[in-house]
């Protein structure tokens, strides 16, 4: 708000009243678009759908309704997201069309083999889609169920395979092009502005969490909840940012600036967790705790004010340097904890400053590489998403079995129209493959598909017989599809609105002539419900495990990652580790209700991530220590790796704390220097992360007869 006010004042001074009024008008226009985004989307998408349908009729395409349905499949509130989805849909459709041309002519005379081939294709493509986890995954999903959409209806007319496939690709492409062009021309909404707005909200929330951590405001549970929310929001920003490349108005500076900002955001949550644990370590030392609390309160005040006062930031850094004690051989736990806390608080100031500089550079469209950042990004830093291969295999396998089961049912009963059931099984199963508990989800959707059948019947037998012109058809469809578009634009009803719009577009099968057959309507309706019902039942049987099982796997995967880092089995960069574990935290946030309280707190505080990052720091800095100290530290890391591999539940053994304290003691006896201090910082970080409530470290003598246990 302050930046906007400053911009308005500058515009008024430089250009006068006219420019000022234009700026205010633009703000009002932007505000109007935000307030009425769902209504604008509904009208814009319906206009694109009718444009695609009309052009398909004009070009005498055999199934113009596919062009209409493709508009609703492709459209998104944001222009860049619509364009990227259009590209992915075209690629997926082409791959699916090629697979159809390969399968149908060769297997059409062997229905059982054809059914098995389609089921396997759908399952393999869906498996790849679930593993990818980015917007690009739509290519694999669409390539999978496109074979079902094209292949099963062709069974009754195999001689026209090539013509049907080509016409379907043309109709889908037409719908995609109409959706993209209308999205770009009619009140477009920028992905860039949406990402910036979400990043601003995230940084505001992170500053609020930092203030709570520094001042002790709020309960532990409230702070854990906020951490989970911020992790989920960061994942959403990351997914949204992947559409930036498809928006022509996004400059390279803005794109790079947002990438840099995202990397800094990934460092904030583990940094705040480290600060909180180090504060906890000082709570029993009143004098030291009071001294650190005073400067923490000053930092909190600086953050609450936006963190923009550079002089105040410099004063805070100077104060932290004064409070930071020197670490000699006889240093006690209080000295070590204050030293580590002072360094982390300084890091917090620097990261907050970097985030502000990057945010300003994005707004001003400046090159982020020219900024004097305290933490410049590594050119080799690559984000790594979490992939659960077993869960993806179960989900994809259940959909493949559902498709095969529907095929077997249709073949065994000799039900000709029943071949539509596996088509719906492939599409609905793919769309709902990501849910944790499939049976309750499908049960809720049975009523939705009954609504689809009812609306289809009302239009087919009550409305369409009275339609004589294209204009009348557009008017007759408008109320229903505007409602569906409005629902699709609202997060609470997005999935329901999209399914209603897409399925009714396909079920109506609108062409240039009217033909209604109640028997055909009844058969297609029954096939729809059979396909959805069998998919729900089979998915429920195959995937008996629920959200708690998936949450448990996510928690165990963090311990396995820590074991890999400690045991030198992973060469991932700190940024890759941070992105991987915080992606898992975002996935846990969606299943927080089934996560045990202790495990939830550990995950929210990113204890395994912070320990892994400290292990990497210690290992890098320990190259400057003696061989004996390095051996002691590596023995400790090897034991961590062994314990985390064999058991990831319950508390860690007490003997591990004693071994860690021995490593700290032997490191303190090293020659003073930067390497020794960095190793001590990392080891105390491991201690406060894995053992936050253990008794304080006490200086003790080293047994020189042994190197390490």
Per-residue model confidence as pLDDT tens digits over 224-242: 888 888 888 888 888 887 7
Q: Is 131 within the bounds of a domain?
A: yes
Residue 676: domain span: 547-690
Q: Could you say which of 542, 557, 582 is where a domain stops?
A: 542
The reply to whether 418 and 521 lie within a common domain is yes
The reply to whether 207 and 162 lie within a common domain is no
Residue 494 CA to residue 75 CA, distance in Å, equals: 12
User: pLDDT band at 651, cuts 50/70/90?
Assistant: low
User: What's the full length of the chain, in residues?
Assistant: 709
The reply to whether 328 and 472 lie within a common domain is no
The reply to whether 212 and 196 lie within a common domain is yes
The reply to whether 77 and 207 lie within a common domain is no
The reply to whether 522 and 571 lie within a common domain is no
> Long-range contacts: 359-362, Cβ < 8 Å, 24+?
359/199, 359/200, 359/203, 359/261, 361/253, 361/257, 362/196, 362/253, 362/254, 362/257, 362/258, 362/261
Residue 461 CA to residue 97 CA, distance in Å, equals: 33
Q: Is 703 within the bounds of a domain?
A: no
In Å, how far from its chain's centre is CA 100?
A: 32
The two structure tokens encoding residue 292: 């650190």
- What proportion of the chain, given as a percentage, has pLDDT over 90? 19
Say yes or no to pLDDT of 244 above 80: no
The reply to whether 185 and 196 lie within a common domain is no
pLDDT of residue 523: 86
Residue 412 CA to residue 408 CA, distance in Å, equals: 6
The reply to whether 205 and 318 lie within a common domain is yes
User: What's the pLDDT tens digit per position in 258-299?
Assistant: 888 888 888 888 888 888 888 887 777 777 777 788 889 999
Average pLDDT over residues 133-140: 85
Between residues 35 and 163, which one has the greater pLDDT? 163
79, 249 Cβ separation under 8 angstroms: no
**CB atoms near residue 677 (< 10 Å):** 18
Residue 416 CA to residue 410 CA, distance in Å, equals: 7
HSE-CB for 454 with a 13 A CA cutoff: 7
Q: Could you say which of 488, 508, 542 is where a domain stops?
A: 542
The reply to whether 591 and 478 lie within a common domain is no
Between residues 474 and 571, which one has the greater pLDDT? 474
Residue 22 CA to residue 28 CA, distance in Å, equals: 10
16 dihedral zone (left: phi>0; alpha: psi -120 to 50; beta):
left
Q: Is 358 within the bounds of a domain?
A: yes
Which of 131-135, 422-426, 442-446 is modeled with the greatest confidence? 422-426
Q: Is 653 within the bounds of a domain?
A: yes
Q: Could you say which of 542, 572, 599 is where a domain stops?
A: 542
The reply to whether 287 and 196 lie within a common domain is yes
Q: Flag whether the pTM goes above 0.75.
A: yes
Say yes or no to pLDDT of 667 above 80: yes
Q: Is 23 within the bounds of a domain?
A: no
The reply to whether 359 and 428 lie within a common domain is no
Q: Is 409 within the bounds of a domain?
A: yes
**CB atoms near residue 647 (< 10 Å):** 11
User: What's the pLDDT tens digit per position in 414-428?
Assistant: 887 788 888 888 888
pLDDT of residue 479: 94
Lowest-confidence pick of 47-56, 135-144, 470-479: 135-144
Q: What is the DSSP letter of 176?
A: H
Q: Is 592 within the bounds of a domain?
A: yes
pLDDT of residue 14: 39
**CB atoms near residue 696 (< 10 Å):** 15
pLDDT of residue 700: 57
The number of folded domains in the chain is: 3
Q: Is 164 within the bounds of a domain?
A: yes
Which of 36-50, 512-526, 531-545 is modeled with the greatest confidence? 36-50
The reply to whether 490 and 526 lie within a common domain is yes
């Amino acid at each position: 708000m302050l930046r906007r006010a400053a911009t308005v004042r500058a515009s008024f001074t430089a250009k006068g009243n006219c420019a000022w009024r234009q700026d205010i008008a633009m703000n009002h226009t932007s505000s109007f678009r935000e307030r009425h985004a769902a209504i604008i989307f509904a009208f814009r998408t319906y206009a694109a759908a009718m444009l695609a349908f009309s052009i398909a009729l004009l070009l005498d395409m055999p199934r113009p309704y596919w062009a209409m349905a493709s508009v609703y499949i492709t459209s998104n509130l944001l222009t860049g997201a619509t364009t990227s989805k259009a590209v992915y849909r075209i690629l997926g459709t082409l791959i699916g069309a090629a697979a159809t041309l390969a399968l149908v002519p060769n297997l059409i005379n062997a229905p059982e083999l054809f059914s098995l081939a389609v089921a396997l294709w759908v399952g393999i493509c869906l498996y790849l889609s679930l593993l990818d986890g980015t917007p690009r995954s739509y290519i694999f999903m669409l390539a999978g169920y496109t074979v079902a959409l094209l292949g099963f209806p062709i069974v009754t007319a195999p001689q026209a395979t090539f013509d049907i496939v080509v016409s379907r690709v043309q109709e889908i492409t037409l719908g995609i092009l109409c959706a993209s062009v209308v999205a770009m021309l009619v009140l477009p909404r920028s992905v860039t502005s949406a990402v910036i707005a979400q990043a601003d909200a995230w940084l505001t929330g992170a500053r609020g969490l930092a203030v709570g951590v520094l001042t002790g405001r709020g309960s532990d549970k409230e702070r854990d909840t906020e951490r989970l929310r911020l992790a989920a929001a960061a994942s959403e920003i990351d997914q949204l940012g992947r559409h930036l490349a498809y928006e022509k108005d996004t400059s390279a500076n803005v794109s790079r600036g947002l990438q840099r900002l995202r990397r800094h955001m990934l460092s904030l949550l583990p940094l705040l967790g480290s600060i909180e644990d180090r504060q906890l370590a000082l709570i029993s030392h009143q004098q030291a705790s009071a001294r650190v609390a005073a400067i923490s309160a000053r930092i909190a005040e600086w953050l609450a004010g936006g963190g923009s006062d550079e002089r105040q930031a410099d004063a805070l850094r100077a104060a932290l340097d004064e409070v930071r004690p020197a670490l000699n051989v006889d240093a006690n736990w209080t000295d070590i904890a204050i030293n580590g806390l002072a360094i982390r608080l300084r890091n917090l100031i620097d990261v907050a400053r970097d985030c502000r500089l990057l945010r300003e550079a994005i707004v001003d469209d400046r090159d982020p590489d020219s900024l004097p950042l305290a933490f410049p990004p590594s050119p080799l830093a690559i984000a790594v998403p979490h992939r659960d291969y077993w869960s993806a295999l179960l989900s994809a396998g259940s959909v493949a079995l559902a498709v095969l089961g529907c095929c077997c049912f249709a073949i065994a009963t000799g039900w000709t129209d029943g071949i539509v059931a596996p088509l719906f099984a492939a599409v609905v199963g793919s769309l709902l493959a990501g849910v944790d508990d499939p049976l309750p989800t499908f049960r809720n959707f049975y009523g939705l598909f009954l609504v689809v059948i009812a609306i289809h019947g009302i239009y087919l037998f009550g409305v369409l017989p009275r339609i004589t012109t294209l204009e009348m058809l557009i008017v007759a469809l408008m109320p229903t599809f505007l409602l569906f578009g409005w629902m699709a634009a609202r997060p609470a009803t997005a999935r329901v609105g999209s399914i209603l719009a897409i399925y009714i577009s396909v079920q109506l099968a609108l062409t240039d002539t009217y033909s209604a057959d109640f028997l055909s309507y009844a058969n297609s309706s029954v096939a729809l419900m059979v396909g959805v019902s069998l998919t729900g039942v089979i998915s429920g049987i195959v995937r008996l495990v629920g959200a708690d099982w998936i949450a448990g796997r996510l928690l165990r995967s963090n311990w396995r990652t820590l074991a890999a880092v400690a045991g030198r089995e992973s060469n991932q960069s700190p940024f890759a580790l941070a992105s991987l574990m915080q992606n898992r935290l975002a996935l846990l946030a969606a299943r927080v209700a089934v996560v045990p309280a202790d495990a939830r707190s550990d995950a929210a505080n990113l204890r395994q991530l912070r320990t892994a990052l400290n292990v990497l720091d210690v290992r890098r800095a320990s190259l400057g220590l003696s061989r004996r100290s390095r051996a002691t530290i590596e023995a400790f890391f090897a034991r961590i790796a062994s314990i985390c591999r064999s058991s990831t539940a319950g508390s860690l053994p007490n003997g591990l704390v004693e071994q860690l304290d021995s490593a700290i003691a032997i490191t303190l006896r090293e020659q003073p220097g930067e390497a020794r201090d960095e190793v001590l910082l990392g080891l105390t970080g491991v201690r406060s992360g894995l053992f936050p409530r253990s008794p304080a470290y006490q200086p003790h003598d080293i047994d020189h007869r042994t190197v390490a246990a």
